[in-house]
Amino acid sequence: MKVEFGYGKTTQVVDIPDKNLDDILLATDIEHERRGPDAVKYALLNPIGSPRLKDLAKPGQKIAIITSDISRPLPSFDVIPSILDELYEGGCDPKDIKVVFALGSHRCHTEEEKKKLVGERVYSEVECVDSDPNDCIHMGTTSRGTPVDITRSVAEADFRIGVGNIEFHYFAGYSGGAKALMPGVSTPSAIQANHSMMVDEKACAGNLNGNPIRADIEESETFCHLSFIVNPVLDEHKHIVYCVAGDVTEAHRAGCRYLDKMYRKPLKRRADIVIVSQGGAPKDANLYQTQKALDNSKYAVRDGGTIIVVGACNEGLGSAKFEEWLTTANTPDELIERVGKDFQLGGHKAAAIAMVLKHAKIVLISEMDDDFVRSIFLEPMHSAQQAFDEAYAKYGEDCSVICMPFGGATLPIPPED
């Protein structure tokens, strides 16, 4: 069978013998009842584990709506207008409402970027500000030692609404829920303390049970309570196809279950060879973005197997910190040791690649220079077919193959899980 993988603005096609192809992992075909703002409005009318927002928020309260920054795919302009309508119906005044962009460790926005994120209406009706890691209030310390330092505009609010899309997160299990608060509007030291636990084997995509990072995030929320959440689920084109609203935990878990129906893909076995792509441009413009697909593919490959990553990476690595970590390490193990002691945004993805390399060989099909690719511990090739042919020769004609054409979205679940 010929399987097509997005590669920049083109494709790479791999011809795989039918007898060797275990599966092609694609999103489950679900008939979504509502989409876009309609899904958000329905969620607000039918909250989970909570009264309606209009009945919770009270006139005169200072209200903070925490939403994602420009690095995230959430279409805030399709979500926040409905939240404002609900608050106004409850008698709340626009002057008491503030939208806070959760920067985490990312840069500040320009005013034009803020307007683009929330839309003209929201930007003109309520104050829109960035979180400020230099102006935080210390609200406590979790049992794992993470300081709960929250940006003042959120910490001093009387009522807090967390907004963020739910997707698989490669060490927090899932995004969404209390993650708007931690690391969203926290400090570098808090993020360092929380994210340094990413080396724990239970800190992995799709796992909430015993995940120390997710548990720490949700404990942080008990010091600075989110009164309500609104969490959409997006399809692979980043359009809203479902939404949950209500209690920070109950609503979040319901959203996770819906995401699972779409993208959680049980396997009958792990494969000798996994071929994975982000789906082409713009999602494979650099290795920093392509790493998400690589990380999901690790659940589909057996120990000692080979992952063939198809990603043009025409813009290179995509992050200065990511590059600094990868190019200064002598071995992958150094990266894993470093992230446990000194978590840095960007560097954490280098460590994540190193953790995959502990179990499998990684071949990268890209436009980057071969010698440079070798220097960051990956094997370079320019043809996915050639890479497959070499892996096929290595593992033999009875080898097993799994294909992931949209690897950033689909999460393989091996039989042991």
Select from 279, 273, 316 the least CA-distant residue to 408.
279
Q: What pLDDT does 240 receive?
A: 97
Q: What pLDDT does 72 receive?
A: 80
Q: Tokens 């926005």 correspond to what residue? A: 109
Q: Where is 402: in which H helix or E strand?
A: strand 401-404
Select from 274, 235, 276 the least CA-distant residue to 5.
276
- Say which residue, 137 or 340, is predicted with more confidence: 137
Q: What is the pLDDT of residues 347-376, one digit of tens each?
A: 999 999 999 999 999 999 999 999 999 999
Give residues with Cβ within 8 angstroms of 382, minimum separation 6: 365, 366, 367
Q: What pLDDT does 343 receive?
A: 82
CATH 3.90.226.30 segments of the chain:
2-27+267-413
Phi, psi of 144 (to 5 degrees): -95, 5
Select from 253, 232, 262 the least CA-distant residue to 30.
262
Which class would CATH give 2-27+267-413? alpha beta
Amino acid in position 394: K
Mean pLDDT of 44-59: 98
Stated length of the chain: 417
Q: What is the pLDDT of residues 97-111, one digit of tens each?
A: 999 999 987 789 999
Mean pLDDT across the chain: 95
CB atoms closer than 10 angstroms to residue 260: 16
141-147: list long-range contacts, CB under 8 Å, 24+ apart. Answer: 142/216, 142/219, 142/220, 142/223, 143/219, 144/193, 144/194, 144/197, 144/212, 144/215, 144/216, 144/219, 145/193, 146/182, 146/190, 146/193, 146/194, 146/216, 146/219, 146/220, 147/187, 147/189, 147/190, 147/193
Mean pLDDT of 55-78: 94
On the 0-12 / 13-18 / 19+ scale of CB atoms within 10 A, 274 is buried
The pLDDT-based confidence of 35 (bands split at 50, 70, 90) is very high
Residue percentage of the chain with pLDDT more than 90: 89
Q: How far is CA 13 from CA 3, 283, 409, in A?
A: 6, 18, 20
Mean pLDDT of 303-313: 97
Q: What pLDDT does 417 receive?
A: 73
Give the SS3 label for residue 225.
Answer: coil
Q: What pLDDT does 16 receive?
A: 98
Q: Please tell me the pTM assigned to this model.
A: 0.89
CATH 3.40.50.11440 segments of the chain:
36-263
d(CA 57, CA 102): 21
Q: What pLDDT does 61 receive?
A: 98
CB atoms closer than 10 angstroms to residue 85: 14
Q: What pLDDT does 188 receive?
A: 87
Token pair of 278 as six digits: 């982000």
- Say which residue, 328 or 73, is predicted with more confidence: 328
pLDDT at 396 over 80: yes
Residue percentage of the chain with pLDDT more than 70: 100
CATH H-level superfamily of 36-263: LarA, N-terminal domain (3.40.50.11440)
Q: What is the pLDDT of residues 274-284, one digit of tens each?
A: 999 999 998 89
pLDDT at 390 over 80: yes
Q: What pLDDT does 288 receive?
A: 92
Q: Where is 338: in which H helix or E strand?
A: helix 332-341
